[in-house]
Structures are given as structure tokens and as C-alpha cells.
Amino acid sequence: MSDSEFNVECNSECESSSSDDVQLIGESYQDDDEIFLLALSQSGPVHRVAQKYTTAKFPRIRKELTAKLFDVYRRRCFENKLDPNMVLNWNARLRLTAGRCRCKPNGTADIELSIKVCDTPERLRDTLLHEMCHAAVWVIDHIHKGRHGPAWKYWVHRCQKVFPSLPLIERCHNYIIDAKYLYVCDRCGQTLVLISASVKVIFQRFKKMLMLE
């Protein structure tokens, strides 16, 4: 990491109708944006626009869906205070981390999303909102290294008031990651999940585990 930036890591294009349109589901009213977001889950309601993303191969639509989700969240949760041109990158090197907010000294922020972890519309929906809360802490509140502190929790609470039917925004994800290699240390019994079979990585990871004992 260079001196010119610091990172916030978390292990952890919606053609919607006007938000004035509401539909009664259960005992609560939900506007079209919220129904669209819920429909990105496998068990979610049916939504015409969401079907485009849930039925297509995810790599083909992830950038378009990212832009649509960013627009919905920016309008509804962050009062258009985040830069509409914020850089949203997909990173193949993030293997266990779902997303990362990179905060810049000039007051801007970029968001990186993991190709390996955010591999469904539902995971993208939840991870992007989490990272946008981090971005708001820096870009809007101007708080350096807010991490998952009070400022981040404020934005989480605000988002959940806007879209109460969405899953709770957690500090860390609990996604099952499709890893090819599983190593168990004969000495300590700890398990190491890896995407690649690099001997160097295996040695370094287990060395850190043993040092923590």
C-alpha cells in the first residue's frame, strides 16, 4: 500500500419504475426499487428487470448490474452525495475478501469487488451496499479510518431504513467460497482454504497461524 492511499477491507443498471409505486408484500409496503433488489435473490419476488440479471450468466452482466445498483443506492440511501462517476472495479486478486473501499487523500473513494467471491447478483447487491457505506464515511463525513465504527453504522442504519426488507448489512461476509485446495496442519489442526496450490503461500499462512499460538 502506498503512502498516497489507505484501504478499508471487508472480509466480508436498474431500469426501475418511480419509487412512488408501491406493492404490499406481507404487512409492509415496498417500492419498486426495493422489490427489484429483493428479486436478485434466488428466493425473491418476481421482477421484470431483475430477471434480466438472475437468468443471464453473471460474468456477462456484473458490470451493468453494478452500475444499476450503484445508481439506486446513491439516489435512495446517500442523497446523491457520492460521486456518480466513482470508480467501481472488479478485482480477480481478491480471493477471500468480498469487497474493498480504497479511500484517497483527495476526498474521493474507489470500490473494488471480488470476482471470486461476488459471483451472484445477490452477493453483489449486499457487498456493494456495504462498501458504499465505507465510502460515505470518507467522502461525506470526512472521517479517516472509520472502519466499522459509529459513522459506518450510521450509514448502515440509514440504508436499512430505506430498504428494510434487505438482509442486515454485516461487518464480515459468511459466503461459502469455491476453493480448490484445503490444507490441514498436522501440528495445530487448523484448516487453510486456498484458491491456488502455491507452496510459498501455504508456508507463509501456516507460519502465521503457528506464531499466533
At 145 the pLDDT is 83
Picking from 138, 78, 69, 152, the residue whose alpha carbon sits closest to that of residue 110 is 138
pTM value? 0.73
131-173: pLDDT as tens digits = 999 999 999 999 988 889 999 999 999 999 999 999 998 877 5
* pLDDT top residue among 29 and 143: 143
6-23: pLDDT as tens digits = 555 443 333 333 333 444
Average confidence (pLDDT) over 177-189: 52
Q: Is 24 a residue whose pLDDT tops 50? A: no
Contacts of 75 (CB under 8 A, 6+ apart): none
DSSP state of 13: -
